[in-house]
Structure 1
């Protein structure tokens, strides 16, 4: 089945076009045609609206009272369905630090149900931990933290049937550089975070093959103008990608601006780090084994009051960076689609281009979400 989308603006892979028509055939994107070349055939008119690629959340723990650490497959699919209302059409379920056997079980569940999700597409698993530093544990449980082990990691990867594609870790732990070198050879993406690393230790991790920083500025010492830290590395190094939570709480607007000015939008991947309280009312929740309370748009640990993941929806993170006058709608969309997909080596998502899955969003000019399409079918309307 073939049809065309007509709209005021299209955020295509390499350029933004005003007006025109986008071909959709059998669930895939076809060609874009300018306004003057109106095609023959069925046209769905979105005059006054903008068309963007579906967003890609590469760091998300849960939503709708469901959590990657505790939910069964039905619960995971509930997250997958719910994410369509957040503008997310592809995601990476993200674990937190836990016992090795627990992580193995989670990997086995995803392997067993690979490709069965009915909402936003699961593109791989992201392990946040357990190779972290206790000092910057944040909402992660220090009792399970350990030095990196290739054997342990390969056991999890095998259990996941190759779905384990990304790991966040602290580069100062013994054996980190050797571990990073080994797993990145296999195509695994390594991000650095929950770490007390100095600038030099972070550089060593990047030079060994790590290519990202985990929720930049959170779970790491602040940037310093003497005694540079891992945060300075996230702002100063070439050819890396910085995850960033843009809810206004985890990182305030001036620092979001400073990071984007330093590295450029093409090196910032907007993420949510959302936990089970996402899309839910204020109250008491859990992040892994740790009790959390949600109030005033923030999730915090009951013990210690640290920020504990977020309740951000990715569509709101995109809107925020535009509303804060930090970047353009075009670049904001790119930071939530193309950049995260590229950073995690994910294929067939994050761009509008011929023969890619027709996963796209209909946006209002104020960057709010109007509709979400998956494989060329409308699946959510605001």
Structure 2
């Protein structure tokens, strides 16, 4: 039996429509029509509201006092449920640089349990490290840094039940080219991060198949007019995606706008890089092995370096519109369809399209989250104050 969502505006695949009716049948999106369905049909009325795809966070380390590196299924489940408050319906649990043994355990835990979580859907694993270099280490532990290893990736992919969808490396490390070719051949998106690579080294990595720049401007060689660096590559190379953290701390709004203008909003991916303090009060937390202080809206390790964020993806959408650097349609795209495309999963999430799982969010015209739906079922509603 079909039911229908009525709303003022629908952010559909490649277009905005409305007012109208969106069909949902057995948890799957059906067709959109401006005409009323049969009088006997069930209609969920969101008059005055906007319907958008569920958001997709492809770079997130934790939430609500839980960290992916805790290697704890219940913590993973709580992150998954908490993300429904953020408008996120799909995500990639993201690891940190750590020992081989610890990463073995974490990817195995996720690969064994990812289908059991009760909130936002896990679409795979993002391995952020350990194949980085020291100069732009950020909050990654340098004692575990090493050259890219196909053998290690094979082990992690086997332990995770083939769940690894994205891995970040520094392209100047020995063996990077061969590693990239292998990973891409296994349908793993290769991202470039925590690197002092030259523009030419980044370009060579992209030519081998790397396709994502991680948290652009952060943890990479900067743009200089004579030495374009990784940041210049993120803005100038063709057919790649550039992540950006739009919390107002990691990147100035003007710099975010420059990236979006250069890269194109269809290839700019908004991520949170959120750590365990997301959704929690200010205070002291951990990011992997590092103590972190959260103060004035930012998470920092000793010495003042940023340590991920406490950003929620729904806030990033609202921020870029409030900053005047994106329209609502562009902002929603950068937080849903673009992330899904960057990891090759836009065939199953990140857009409202006939045949896709009915994962969507309800927003008011100020871009505040009202409700989150998974498979056509309301799992969070602001007025009812809670996740079900």
* TM-score bracket for this pair, using the shorter chain length: over 0.9
Aligned-partner Cα distance in 1 for 2:320–2:38: 35
User: In the TM superposition, what whole-angstrom CA distance separates every residue of 1:6-31 from its partner, at most 9, and x where no partner exists?
Assistant: 00000001210020000011111100
In the alignment, does 2:54 pair up with 1:54? Answer: yes
**Distance between the aligned counterparts of 2:153 and 2:271, measured in 1?**
24
The 5 A counterparts of 1:105-184 are: 105-184=105-184
Deviations 1:83-120 (A, max 9, x none): 00000000000001000110010111112213111100
Q: Which residue in the other structure is 1:340 paired with?
A: 339
Match of 1:326 in 2: 325
Please give the per-residue CA displacement for 1:275-331, whole angstroms capped at 9, x wherever unaligned: 0000000000000001100001100002x2100000000000011111111111111
Q: 1:160-209: CA deviations, max 9, x gaps? A: 01001110110000110111011101111000010000100100110110
How far off its partner does 1:38 sit? 4.2
1:24 aligns with 2:18: no
Aligned to 1:316: 315
Shift of 1:135: 1.0
- Distance (whole Å) between structure 1 residues aligned to residue 363 and residue 311 of structure 2: 18
Give 5+ residue unaligned stretches, structure 2.
383-388
Q: Distance in 2 between matches of 1:345 and 1:100?
A: 27
| Separation in structure 2 between the aligned mates of residue 206 and residue 65 of structure 1, nearest angstrom | 36
| Structure 1 equivalent of residue 349 of structure 2 | 349
Q: Which consecutive segments of 4 or more residues in structure 1 shift more than 4 A?
A: none
State the distance in 1 between where 2:333 and 2:108 align: 33
Q: Unmatched 5+ residue regions in structure 1?
A: none
What are the within-5 Å matches in structure 2 for residues 1-382 of structure 1? 1-34=1-34, 36-40=35-39, 41-302=41-302, 304-346=303-345, 347-382=347-382
User: Does the aligned pair in 1 maintain the 2:71–2:106 contact within 8 Å?
Assistant: no
Contact 1:5 1:21 in 2 (8 A): yes
Counterparts of 1:246 and 1:39 in 2: how far apart (Å)? 43
Aligned partners of 1:269, 1:251: CA distance in 2, in Å? 14
SS at match of 2:76: helix
**How much does 1:221 deviate?**
2.3
1:348: how far off?
1.3
Q: 1:24 & 1:258 partners in 2: Cα distance?
A: 39
Q: Report Cα offsets for 1:323-370 as digits up to 9, x if no partner.
A: 111111111111111100010112411010111111000000011101
Give the number of aligned pairs: 380
Q: CA RMSD in A?
A: 0.9
CA contact (8 A) 2:90 2:121 kept: yes
Q: Is the 8 A contact 1:20 1:38 kept in 2?
A: no
What is the CA–CA distance in structure 1 between the aligned matches of 2:233 and 2:74, rounded to whole Å?
Answer: 40
Kept in 1, the 8 Å contact 2:87–2:369? The answer is: yes
Shift of 1:381: 1.1
Find the residue that maps to 2:70 and give its secondary structure.
coil
Q: Check whether the contact 2:358–2:373 (CA below 8 A) recurs between aligned residues.
A: yes
CA distance in 2, matches of 1:39, 1:55: 31
Using the alignment, how far apart are the partners of 1:23 and 1:39 within structure 2?
A: 12
